[in-house]
A and B are shown apart, each in its own frame.
Chain A
Amino acid sequence: MTNEFEPVIIGFTCNWCSYRAADLAGTARVKYPPNVRLIRLMCSGRLDPTFVLKALASGADGVLITGCHPGECHYIEQNYKALRRYLLLRRTLAQMGVEPERVKLVWASAAEGVKLAEEITRMVEEIRALGPLQWSSHQSSVISYQSSAVGGQSTDHWSLITDHSPEGVTA
């Protein structure tokens, strides 16, 4: 065992191309580092920037977005939508201080198992060099209370709100 930092990368794959590329890499026994956790979407056009932000805020060190090559989308042109969202998200993330290497968009067809494995390997090494992102531990280091009221308890409001302990009061 080593204490070397192992990046956690969330990878969003398209059902029709990059997910199959990852599958092909597996059946062809092409090796790539196990740091990436793949999540299958039907299309890269399904990728809401919320997914990326949620991954980073929850502890991922990087996010890999993959889709069909331009002109080859199963849903005609949704991968262009993914491209535009990625380019806009990248600008916002730069203002948030997230290094550009941490969120990447890669095109990979169902035949490109080797290419996908190479891209993953490169990304893991780049993020390993950057070090951990630690967004979630930053957030929890600031005393945080998330409202437990959300989620629909109902009814007797007047008796419900009584006891709130004075946690964290300073001075």
Chain B
Amino acid sequence: MSANGAKPKFAMYWAAACGGCEIAVLNIHEKILDVDANFDVVFWPVAMDAKYKDVEAMPDGSITLTLFNGGIRNEENEELAHLLRRKSKILVAFGSCACEGCIPALANLSSSKEIFDTVYGTISTDNPNGVRPQYTYPAPEGDIHIPAFYPVLRTLDQVVPVDYYMPGCPPESHQIAAVVDLIVKALHGEATLPPPGSTIGAGGSTVCDECPRARNVKTIKKFVRIQDMRADPSLCLLEQGIPCNGLATRSGCGALCPQAGAQCIGCYGPAEGVIDYGARLMTAFASVIDSKDPVEIERILDGIPDPAGQFYRFNLAKSLLRAAKPAWAVNSDQ
């Protein structure tokens, strides 16, 4: 508690995201009352009315905790990242988009032109005059400006310093509740916060560690998509040839997907110590392919039709290469 007895302030913001993170926060059920009891919610566009200028008027560092979800896709996202960094004591990169780019970062495989062509120019788009968004429009009342679209989506920590990372697409509600508990305790001096830069609300190991499926020596002759086979419900999915990302993915979800019969797709991001998530998966998958013949190996690899999507579905913006070559062409015509 602050000295004058006022409640500490809480904010949540969404940048390039789907809104699932906000739902995950509301999904902590009655714990949300703890948030309300312990915090004064000052800015949360999804849940309450507030204007950016209200945030600008707050003293720097006056928001105790900001959960920032979403990647930095455009000028507005970046401006709010800087603004909320300035106003917040603790800024949490909340959810996969803010931590590592997530699904929106898959657009980093394409140039801005390709993205705009797809959105405004495909046969299913009703846009007979080929209208494209203009960042500045001269209206009679004066120029109207909309935020510019950036060629490459960035993670929050590629734009401003981040105190904590909370992975997941979205973070599991029980993990959010645990983090809320911890921060509330810390506010009352009953707990200490982990060192800055830590990943919170997740484990340090891999999804395999939490997965109850039986594991043996893996030898793969064929990769199969999960919908094309009837998988053994008790055996490791990768052993059955289903590309499961659990072995490079951070624990914390409780291995929900493998327990429900679906492969891990990697939403909790890289496990502790992994530098490049996709490289770790490539290493692992290639190691267990059971062939020494280049032709046969290529045929087995055909079973993974979209390697970049398989290995970087959530992690592209945070990977070593971060974006494909066409996306780096900053001057591409939009």
Q: Are B162 and A54 in contact, CB atoms less than 8 angstroms apart?
A: no
Q: Are B162 and A149 in contact, CB atoms less than 8 angstroms apart?
A: yes
Known: A54-B275, A88-B285, A150-B197. A96 touches B325 (CB 8 A): yes
Q: Are B197 and A151 in contact, CB atoms less than 8 angstroms apart?
A: yes
**Which residues on B sit within 8 Å (CB–CB) of A139?**
322, 328
B46 at interface by CB-CB < 8 Å: no
A1 at interface by CB-CB < 8 Å: no
Q: Are B325 and A98 in contact, CB atoms less than 8 angstroms apart?
A: yes
Q: Which of A7-15, A28-36, A158-166 contacts B (4 or more CB under 8 A)?
A: A158-166
**Which residues on B sit within 8 Å (CB–CB) of A81?**
286-287
**Which residues on B sit within 8 Å (CB–CB) of A77?**
292
Known: A70-B292, A96-B324, A169-B82. A144 touches B193 (CB 8 A): no
Return the CB mask of A65-104 against B: 1 if under 8 Å, else 0: 0000010000001001101110111011001111000000
**Which residues on B sit within 8 Å (CB–CB) of A92?**
278, 282, 307-308, 311
Q: Are A85 and B282 in contact, CB atoms less than 8 angstroms apart?
A: yes
Closest chain B residue, CB of each to CB of A162: B61
Q: Which of A70, A153, A171 contacts B195 (CB 8 A)?
A: A153
Q: Which of A54, A85, A97, A171 contacts B325 (CB 8 A)?
A: A97
Q: Taking beta carbons and an 8 Å cutoff, which residues of A are in contact with B?
A: 48-50, 52-54, 56-57, 70, 77, 80-81, 83-85, 87-89, 91-92, 95-98, 135, 138-139, 141-155, 157-158, 160-162, 164, 166-171
Q: Measured between C-beta atoms, what is the minimum distance from B131 to chain A in Å? A: 23
Q: Measured between C-beta atoms, what is the minimum distance from A1 to chain B in Å? A: 29
Q: Taking beta carbons and an 8 Å cutoff, which residues of B are in contact with A?
A: 60-61, 75, 78-79, 82-83, 85-86, 88-91, 109, 145, 147, 150-152, 154, 157-163, 193, 195-197, 275-276, 278-280, 282-283, 285-287, 289, 291-292, 294, 297-298, 301, 304, 306-308, 311, 319-322, 324-326, 328, 330
Q: Are A157 and B196 in contact, CB atoms less than 8 angstroms apart?
A: yes
Q: Measured between C-beta atoms, what is the minimum distance from B166 to chain A in Å? A: 14
Closest chain A residue, CB of each to CB of B108: A96
**How many Å lie between the Cα of A158 and that of B3 in the bound state?**
14
A selection of 14 A-B contacts at a CB cut-off of 8 Å is A48-B279, A48-B280, A49-B276, A50-B280, A80-B292, A81-B287, A85-B282, A91-B304, A95-B324, A142-B150, A146-B157, A150-B197, A157-B163, A164-B86
